[in-house]
């Protein structure tokens, strides 16, 4: 199964939205048994390693229900045998025209999820089949049922899985789908014709329409009070809509309960690592896996990729989260002061020493984490002393004859190739192996451009609020232009560009004229206005409907036959005809 970047990104956002709505984790495997799409929680629990015999069995049988994970015949040989983190799984083959593209898996990792799925197995089997059909429709362009039809039907079915009020909106904030619970909650208005701006405060609406995800955000209006979660969806790098879930709504009663991010600093810090691309999802999974250990971590990556942010997330998700996080930039300290900065000094240790001495960074980080940024710039003379500390976890301040025990977790970072520095005798090999126990590599932005729209929205929201200049978003042309840049300065360069654009914005949406000249001068805007796949698929859908109606007739009977041929309801066909704006009078 080969997915281009845009299609993969679109499917990933759709799966994330469905997962948030149905409270199940979703994974997609190709016909070579490789994991290609997944929700973050699935990757966290099961990793990327695939038990190939299970996937092959599903491709042979068509579907499989694993209601006793780890203890079924298909689990023989799996590394999770007798100890599977899953509580239940539904796997369905992705077939189109007798060709097998792969397998989709719906999984729960909780007993609550196991009970919910088991009690309504038929509904979840249908959901699994519909997701498989959606993916198949995307892959088989030219099929009578296009991916937008499947997404429409799938979303309608998915929002019925929860008892919480759920609303789906389009890119303009118009309500397109809702479940019975939402209809009851918003009984004060007609949901089928009401825009979201008549339901939610304008400030929250602005954030939603910029594509900002939300989790457990308090909402208090004159009509209802509850906690709002938003799962945005994007197509062709543009905001396409969102699924909104409202939990524990209580009329006319304000909630003072802190949000989950306020209760859990680790979760909040992890959320600051923006992106849902496979490399970022894998990075977050590794981060959570390695955070609890005391072993040193070496973070590598180009300048501007966010190495300190990742270090802070590791600290916030570790048992040391209540201890200090102390950062030191090895490139900014003169060699003559390096030793005293790291290890401290005693009173009278040298001319100019402060009365009472000074604690070093190791002592400041006691019980917490010490982040050594740009460690490749550390003077060679200091490296041996650092190695001794990492071997024995004691420091000797300058002028002291007493070793002081320290309990510190070391995280180092560099944008250099330390192996090359070792070969050039500029970095000690023994220190390199000591700090490189757990390596984490941060990819450059040019290798994860599918995350660029989300990063743009994140920085836009931040600087719109900071500069008090409300901005609705980027024009599609602007996003396409940004996607063509290679971003040698990575995320830091992108943030700089967005801040510049917000400062210079004189319209509600950011256009290419608001971008820094160094970007627009280096990127010729040719071909960025070509119609995308969404437009092409819409045109194909329109042509297909008109051809079938010409064949079967434009009267009610002909429309019923056309709807049946397309696999959609008559109501859905009428809605599509209104969009096409070609609705000849029906004959009697």
Looking at the chain, how many residues does it have?
A: 588
Q: What is the dihedral of CA 157, 159, 164, 169, to 10 degrees?
A: -150
Q: What is the CATH number of domain 446-522?
A: 1.10.8.60
The pLDDT of residue 267 is: 64
Place of tokens 């089928």: 192
Q: Please tell me the distance from the alpha carbon of residue 184 to that of residue 186, in angstroms, as a whole number.
A: 6
pLDDT at residue 581 in the model: 53
Token pair listed for 431: 């220190």
Distance between CA atoms of 144 and 417, rounded to whole angstroms?
52
CA–CA dist 234, 12 (Å, integer): 9
Architecture of domain 268-443: 3-Layer(aba) Sandwich (3.40)
- Judged by phi (left if over 0) then psi (alpha if -120 to 50, else beta), residue 223 lies in alpha
pLDDT of residue 182: 77
At 263 the pLDDT is 45
What superfamily would CATH give domain 5-160? GAF domain (3.30.450.40)
Q: What is the DSSP string of 385-448?
A: HHHHHHHH-EE--BT--S-EE---EEEEEESS-HHHHHHTTSS-HHHHHHH-SEEEEPPPGGG-
Residue 208: which residues within 8 A CB-CB, separation 6 or more? 169, 173, 196, 200, 214, 230, 232, 242, 244
Sign of CA pseudo-dihedral 292, 294, 300, 303: positive
Select from 480, 469, 482, 481 the least CA-distant residue to 509.
469
Q: How far is CA 206 from CA 68, 212, 227, 233, 525, in A?
A: 45, 9, 17, 15, 28
Q: Give the pairing type, strands 358-359 and 344-345.
A: antiparallel
Kindly list the distances between the CA atom of residue 572 and the CA atoms of 52, 221, 315, 493, 579, in Å, as whole numbers in the listed order.
40, 33, 51, 45, 11
Domain range 162-258, CATH architecture: 2-Layer Sandwich (3.30)
- pLDDT for 257: 39
Would you state the pLDDT for residue 4? 66
H helix or E strand, kind and range, residue 551: helix 533-552
pLDDT in tens, the chain (588 residues): 566 666 677 677 777 777 877 778 999 998 888 898 898 889 888 988 898 988 988 888 888 888 888 888 778 888 888 889 999 999 999 887 677 888 999 999 988 888 888 877 877 888 888 788 777 766 665 433 444 444 555 555 555 556 678 888 877 777 777 777 777 777 655 554 455 666 777 778 888 888 788 877 777 765 666 778 887 776 656 777 788 888 754 443 333 334 333 445 566 667 788 888 999 999 999 999 999 999 999 999 999 999 999 999 999 899 998 888 888 999 888 888 888 888 888 877 776 667 777 888 898 888 899 999 999 999 988 999 899 999 888 988 888 878 888 899 999 999 999 999 999 999 999 999 999 999 999 999 999 999 999 999 889 888 888 888 888 788 888 888 898 898 999 999 999 999 999 998 888 788 888 998 888 876 654 444 444 555 656 676 787 888 788 778 888 888 888 888 888 888 888 877 877 654 443 333
How distant, in Å, are the alpha carbons of 257, 273, 277, 305, 411 from that of 263?
Answer: 9, 18, 26, 27, 25
């Amino acid at each position: 199964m080969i997915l281009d970047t845009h299609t993969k990104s679109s499917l990933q956002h759709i799966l994330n939205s469905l997962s948030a709505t149905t409270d199940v984790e979703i994974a997609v495997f190709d016909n070579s048994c490789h994991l290609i799409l997944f929700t973050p929680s699935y990757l966290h629990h099961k990793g990327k390693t695939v038990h190939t015999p299970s996937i092959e069995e599903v491709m042979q049988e068509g579907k499989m229900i694993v209601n006793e994970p780890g203890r079924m015949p298909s689990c023989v040989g799996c590394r999770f045998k007798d100890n599977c983190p899953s509580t239940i799984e539904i796997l369905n083959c992705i077939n189109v025209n007798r060709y097998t593209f792969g397998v989709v898996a719906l999984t729960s990792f909780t007993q609550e999820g196991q009970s919910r799925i088991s009690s309504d197995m038929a509904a979840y089997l249908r959901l699994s089949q519909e997701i498989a059909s959606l993916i198949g429709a995307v892959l088989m362009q030219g099929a009578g049922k296009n991916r937008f039809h499947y997404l429409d039907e799938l979303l309608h079915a998915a929002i019925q899985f929860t008892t919480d009020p759920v609303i789906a909106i389009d890119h303009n904030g118009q309500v397109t789908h809702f479940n019975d619970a939402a209809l009851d909650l918003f009984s004060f208005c007609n949901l089928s014709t009401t825009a979201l701006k008549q339901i939610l405060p304008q400030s929250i609406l602005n954030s939603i329409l910029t594509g900002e995800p939300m989790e457990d955000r308090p909402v208090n209006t004159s009509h209802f009070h509850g906690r709002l979660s938003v799962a945005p969806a994007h197509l062709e790098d543009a905001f396409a809509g969102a699924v909104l879930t409202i939990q524990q709504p209580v009329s006319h009663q304000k909630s003072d309960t802190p949000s989950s991010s306020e209760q859990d600093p680790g979760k909040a810090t992890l959320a600051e690592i923006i992106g849902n691309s496979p490399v970022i999802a894998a990075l977050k999974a590794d981060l959570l896996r390695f955070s609890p250990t005391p072993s040193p971590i070496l973070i590598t990556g180009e300048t501007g990729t966010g190495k300190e942010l990742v270090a802070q997330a590791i600290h916030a998700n570790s048992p040391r989260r209540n201890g200090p996080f102390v950062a030191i930039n090895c490139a900014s300290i003169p060699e003559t002061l390096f030793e005293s900065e790291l290890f401290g000094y005693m009173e009278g240790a040298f001319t100019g020493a402060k009365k009472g001495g000074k604690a070093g960074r190791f002592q400041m980080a006691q019980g917490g984490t010490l982040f050594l940024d740009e460690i490749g710039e550390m003077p060679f003379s200091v490296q041996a002393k650092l190695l001794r500390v990492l071997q024995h976890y004691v420091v000797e301040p300058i002028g002291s004859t007493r070793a002081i025990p320290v309990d510190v977790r070391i995280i180092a970072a560099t944008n250099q190739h330390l192996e090359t520095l070792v070969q050039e005798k500029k970095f000690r090999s023994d220190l390199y192996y000591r700090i490189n126990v757990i390596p984490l590599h941060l990819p450059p932005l040019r290798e994860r451009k599918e995350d660029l729209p989300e990063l743009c929205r994140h920085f836009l929201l931040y600087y719109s609020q900071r500069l008090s200049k409300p901005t609705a978003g980027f024009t599609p042309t602007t996003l396409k232009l940004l996607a063509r840049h290679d971003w040698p300065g990575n995320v830091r360069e992108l943030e700089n560009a967005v801040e510049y654009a917000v400062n210079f914005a004189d319209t509600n949406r950011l256009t290419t004229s608001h971008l820094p000249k160094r970007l627009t001068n280096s990127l010729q805007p040719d071909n960025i206005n070509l119609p995308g796949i969404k437009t092409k698929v819409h045109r194909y859908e329109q042509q297909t409907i008109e051809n079938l109606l010409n064949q079967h007739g434009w009267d009610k009977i002909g429309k019923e036959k056309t709807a049946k041929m397309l696999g959609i309801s008559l109501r859905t066909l009428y809605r599509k005809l209104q969009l096409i704006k070609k609705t000849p009078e029906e004959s009697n």
